[in-house]
Amino acid sequence: MLALRAQAATRFKAISSCLTYLRAATHRNVSSKVLTVANMNPNVKRMEYAVRGPIVQKAVKIQDDLNSGKEMPFTEVVRANIGDCHATGQQPLTFIRQVLALCTYPELLDDPRFPEDTKAKAKRILSGCGGNSMGAYTESGGIRVIRQDIAEYISERDGYNSNWENVSLSTGASEAIKSILQILNSPGPNGESTGVMVPIPQYPLYSATMAEYNIQQIDYFLDEANQWSLSTEELQRSYDSAKDKCVPRAIVIINPGNPTGQVLSKQNIADIIKFAHKEKLFILADEVYQHNIWAEDREFHSFKKVLCELGSEYSDVQLASFMTVSKGYMGECGLRGGYVEVVNLDDDVMAMLNKLNSAKLCSNTHGQATMDCVVKPPQPGDPSYELFTKEKDAVLASLRSKAKLVTKTFNSIEGVRCNEVQGAMYCFPNIDIPQRAAEHAKSKGMAPDAFYCFELLEKTGLCVVPGSGFGQREGTHHFRCTLLPPEEQFRAVMKRFEVFHKNFLAEWS
């Protein structure tokens, strides 16, 4: 390596940068390149993913300016654009990180500072790894003991048996969602495209993936006037409007809702399942916020449980439920752990899904191990139980408190209306944007709420995502704001928001 470095240093001096040549040549003759935006995959070109869109780049720029001493009406950018818990100050749970450290470096198993239950879990996970190493590939579906633990968690949660062979670990929930959409994507008998029903507003992973796979997105609208509820009449309208243009094959439900924060009632879920049964739709149940329920009168019901309760008449309804380690109370986004449980898939379809996964080899072992900590947390009497519970409860209590705060604050401001945040990690307030501001935005090629959000960012430091990135009823404007910034910062920015909105209305009315 050293010899290589010395050699390299010499070359550096002797030869001017090849890339400079290459760049210069590029500008002379762009068209000679094989891959250009003109001839690249058109589906990828059509994709949009608002959560990491241009507003985030602007936020980075502003924070850089602040860091280099530029004077602004605020001292820091408040990142409320993405559900990135640890980045906004949430602390990792000790139990999870201790287990992961032990799995990573088993020499620590003799270290007295690690509680016995973390050691027992690490040993159990390592026993499921090839060569007892986190560095071995796992089976395509994940480490078997973890899949078994997940199945047990689901069984206990729902009261209905879950078979571990129907559970696959994935790189976050996103990868599993993409796999299911991919396997469903099949042209109809006359070459019609596959249609998938998605809620509006929706989490843009869905719209992005459908663009990527050239799947027809069939919008159904959540009812903002009724707490973002989901009516089967609207599902029927949406389905009927699309069924002659494509082959509708699936419906996506996000519960608790992202970006809308609603939590579906058991009756509502049963109605959706009956609708899916009638119209022969595969159900994608995005249940990644199952630990994030804030409204006292709501609880989480899984689609699997309600399907089972409906009995054998609905036994042909196929379902995939998604979970992640990125949300809940753990917020381990960077570890990229997730799972999918499929229900009622034929064995030969399961084999195809496994094959699709196997070409990607496996998801990462740390994400898998984290999921094990989530589905099998410490129990009363375990040495880690008390600290785990304390840390978990503190995270959830803070989120709950902010969920109440945002609803209250937004609704106290003229020209802003916000449904109760019943669950998940976001609010999606409806904002009045004066006609003149909307026209100004359009003249600059921007959606009105994108213009609003850029102004908001520049004047208050609050970074949120325009509602147009999630979809909304024509003529309405929203933004998505996470509940994640620390409470003090959050309260302060809410005050700046209030002033901003008032001024914005005054300026553009």
| Identity of the amino acid at 442 | K
Closer to a second copy by Cβ: residue 319 or 433: 319
Which of 117, 287, 332, 391: binder of a second copy (CB under 8 A)?
Answer: 332
Closer to a second copy by Cβ: residue 62 or 307: 307
Total chain residues near a second copy (CB under 8 A): 130
Contact between 85 and a second copy by CB under 8 A: the answer reads yes
Rg over alpha carbons for the chain, rounded to the nearest Å, is 25
Contact 293, 422 (CB under 8 A): yes
Closer to a second copy by Cβ: residue 90 or 202: 90
Contact 42, 22 (CB under 8 A): no
Contact between 155 and a second copy by CB under 8 A: the answer reads yes
Closer to a second copy by Cβ: residue 30 or 499: 30
Instruction: Count CB atoms within 10 A of the CB of residue 160.
Output: 14
Closer to a second copy by Cβ: residue 65 or 111: 111
Which of 97, 274, 404, 473: binder of a second copy (CB under 8 A)?
Answer: 97
- Identify residues 406-435 at the interface with a second copy (CB under 8 A): none
Contact 361, 137 (CB under 8 A): yes
- Identify residues 213-242 at the interface with a second copy (CB under 8 A): none
Q: How far apart are CA 447 and CA 466, in angstroms?
A: 8
Which of 183, 394, 396, 405: binder of a second copy (CB under 8 A)?
Answer: 183
- Identify residues 367-386 at the interface with a second copy (CB under 8 A): 367, 377, 379-380
Instruction: Count CB atoms within 10 A of the CB of residue 360.
Output: 12
Closest CA to 171 of 343, 371, 329, 378: 371
Closer to a second copy by Cβ: residue 73 or 135: 135
- End-to-end, the C-alpha distance of the chain in Å comes to 66
- Identify residues 301-320 at the interface with a second copy (CB under 8 A): 307-309, 311-312, 315-316, 318
Contact 151, 157 (CB under 8 A): no
Binding characters for a second copy, 38-67, by CB under 8 A (x = yes): -xxxx-xx-xxx--x---------------
Closer to a second copy by Cβ: residue 366 or 501: 366
Residue with tokens 């720029």: 61
Beta carbon of residue 93, minimum distance to a second copy (angstroms, whole number): 9
Of 279-287, 406-414, 431-439, 444-452, which segment contacts a second copy by CB under 8 A?
279-287
Beta strands (DSSP E) in 210-295 are 216-221, 247-254, 282-286
Contact 471, 457 (CB under 8 A): no
Which of 192, 212, 219, 234: binder of a second copy (CB under 8 A)?
Answer: 212
Residue 146, C-beta contacts closer than 8 angstroms, at least 6 positions apart: 125, 128, 169, 368, 369, 371, 372, 375
Contact 62, 458 (CB under 8 A): yes
Beta carbon of residue 157, minimum distance to a second copy (angstroms, whole number): 7
Task: Name beta bridge partners: 203.
Answer: none
Beta carbon of residue 130, minimum distance to a second copy (angstroms, whole number): 3
Contact between 397 and a second copy by CB under 8 A: the answer reads no
Which of 66, 108, 145, 394: binder of a second copy (CB under 8 A)?
Answer: 108
Contact between 134 and a second copy by CB under 8 A: the answer reads yes
Closer to a second copy by Cβ: residue 202 or 430: 202
DSSP secondary structure letters along 466-508: EGGGT---TT--BEEEES-S-HHHHHHHHHHHHHHHHHHHHHH
DSSP secondary structure letters along 433-450: --HHHHHHHHHTT--HHH
Closer to a second copy by Cβ: residue 40 or 499: 40
Which of 55, 59, 62, 100: binder of a second copy (CB under 8 A)?
Answer: 100
What is the total residue count of the chain?
Answer: 509
